[in-house]
Amino acid sequence: MTLNKYGVPYWIILLASVIALAGTATGLAELFSPGTLFETSGTELDSLSRSWGARNFAISATMGAAIYLQKKIGYIVAFTGAFFVGVGDIINSLVESDRQFIWFSLILFALNSTALWTLKDAITTED
């Protein structure tokens, strides 16, 4: 596995970059223009759409900070946050019986879990 000079695998940096870019795009779109990604414009769901956008933007900002800092502990914090958001998304998909969204949630959950598992030794090693 190829690591950067701080011991972070390059595939984790790439995954964090994709999450940061996608989260920024979708987050800002829904935050400032509800209904851009979902058909909520002009309905009582606009507030929920803005909240979802803010959540995505917050995750992307955390990933961006981890990328900027290039420290393993930063990636652990960012992926831990994304991990728990994924848990919430999976629970929501199960409750709502949303079969399309659950696959997306499970894939992101698996990627976040794999990243955390790969970085698990970061707490015991110095950066």
Burial classification of residue 78, based on how many CB atoms lie within 10 Å of its CB (0-12 exposed, 13-18 middle, 19 or more buried) = buried
Kindly state whether residue 5 falls inside one of the protein's structural domains. Answer: no
Q: Does the structure show a pLDDT above 90 at 42?
A: no
Of the spans 5-14, 61-70, 92-101, which averages the highest pLDDT?
61-70
**Mean pLDDT, the chain, whole residue set:** 84
Q: How far apart are CA 37 and CA 60, in angstroms?
A: 17
Measured in residues, the chain has a length of 127
Percent of the chain with pLDDT over 90: 28
Supply the Cα-derived Rg of the chain in whole angstroms: 16
Kindly state whether residue 40 falls inside one of the protein's structural domains. Answer: yes
pLDDT in tens, 84-116: 988 888 888 888 887 777 887 888 889 888 888
Phi, psi at 108, each rounded to 5°: -65, -40
pTM for this model (two decimals)? 0.80
Number of domains in the chain: 1
**Amino acid (1-letter code) at residue 31:** L
Kindly state whether residue 1 falls inside one of the protein's structural domains. Answer: no
